[in-house]
Amino acid sequence: MTWAHLRHGPAHQPYAHQPPAAPPAASAVDLAKVYGSGARRVAALDGVSVAFQQGHFTAIMGPSGSGKSTLMQCLAGLDTPTSGRALIGDTDLAGLSERQLTRLRRERIGFIFQAFHLLPALTVAENITLPLAITGRRPDRQWLDQVVTTLGLTDRLRHRPGELSGGQQQRVACARALAGRPDIVFADEPTGNLDTPTSAEVLSLLAHLTHRMGQTIIMVTHDPAAAAYTDRVVFLADGRITDELHRPDADQILDRMKRFDHL
Ligand SMILES: Nc1ncnc2c1ncn2[C@@H]1O[C@H](COP(=O)(O)OP(=O)(O)OP(=O)(O)O)[C@@H](O)[C@H]1O
């Protein structure tokens, strides 16, 4: 596998070795989230039911304020729904205490944000393993090597984040999210701070991690070009799922988004 090979764009082959009966990596069942009350009441999520299959790369898209972040936060156990259920695998998050939720987030979920959130004083290697170190978990060296190699970071491990380009820094953040071999990675606008070629590189890698290593990734994005790297795009509007596309190209996504102008 070479960078040139990766740059050919999305290889739309969901992970071939996935057992067919595997439960979804995450799911929402009639999920609702209401903020405020009276005149200030906002239904951020209004009865969302959706399942995210293991080993798939899924994008969540929709206009500003449509509920994308709220959905991601409820699924990741960072926010509590008003009603309905959010599940990671077959674990219903409503049944967990705060301590159990924290443990689930640390051990089963990886996060990638628009801002890389790397610690400048630590080396790349230390940044990648920091979440494991904090929780006293021992890294799976073989997995870590595979992640670092796949993300092209092998010769940067002793560098500090300030010595890296934006794309390299986001690749470090991706490696950090993957280091604990999470069941699922949530990526919130992961390429929002990157230029177009660098975004393409990072998205190719995310697609590669899904298709070749079975990593489940859910990504919130505004960018049709970014969503075109995924296997499936789920569209939200006014807190509801309105549509979805499978293995779309950027033009199909853009076309579907134009419909939101008429809602
Ligand atoms: N803490 C909060 N208190 C009150 N209203 C909120 C809160 N968080 C979100 N909302 C409202 O819920 C709705 C959905 O917000 P959310 O952030 O999920 O949308 P989004 O699709 O992620 O938007 P964007 O693309 O702009 O980030 C919006 O109308 C927002 O104003």
Can you give the CATH number for the domain in which 251 is found?
A: 3.40.50.300
In a domain, 64, yes or no: yes
Q: Is residue 117 part of a domain?
A: yes
Distance from residue 179's CA to the centre of ligand 1 (Å): 30
Q: What pLDDT was estimated at residue 162?
A: 96
Domain of 143?
3-8+54-69+94-262
CA-nearest of 144, 140, 143 to 127 is 144
Say whether pLDDT at 119 is over 60.
Answer: yes
- Ligand 1 pocket test: pick from 40, 70, 73 the residue with the most ligand atoms within 8 Å of its Cβ: 70
Phi, psi of 160 (to 5 degrees): -100, 155
Tell me the C-alpha distance between 100 and 93, whole Å: 9
Q: Work out how many domains the chain is built from and give that number.
A: 1
Residues with CB under 6 A from ligand 1: 35-36, 42, 44, 62, 64-70
The pTM (predicted TM-score) of the whole model is 0.89
Give 170-188 pLDDT, tens digit per residue.
999 999 999 999 999 999 9
**Atom 27 of ligand 1: nearest residue by CA position:** 64
Q: Is residue 221 part of a domain?
A: yes
Please choose from 37, 60, 68, 78 the residue to mutate so as to test ligand 1's pocket, defined by most ligand atoms within 8 A of CB: 68
Q: Residue 211 gets which letter from DSSP?
A: H
pLDDT score at 21: 64
Q: Rounded to whole angstroms, what are the CA distances from 44 to 7, 12, 130?
A: 37, 32, 34
Cα(46)–Cα(12) distance, integer angstroms: 31
Q: What average pLDDT does the segment 123-143 reach?
A: 92
* Domain contains 155: yes
Does 44 reside within a domain?
A: no
Mean pLDDT in the chain?
89
Assess if residue 13 is contained within a domain. no
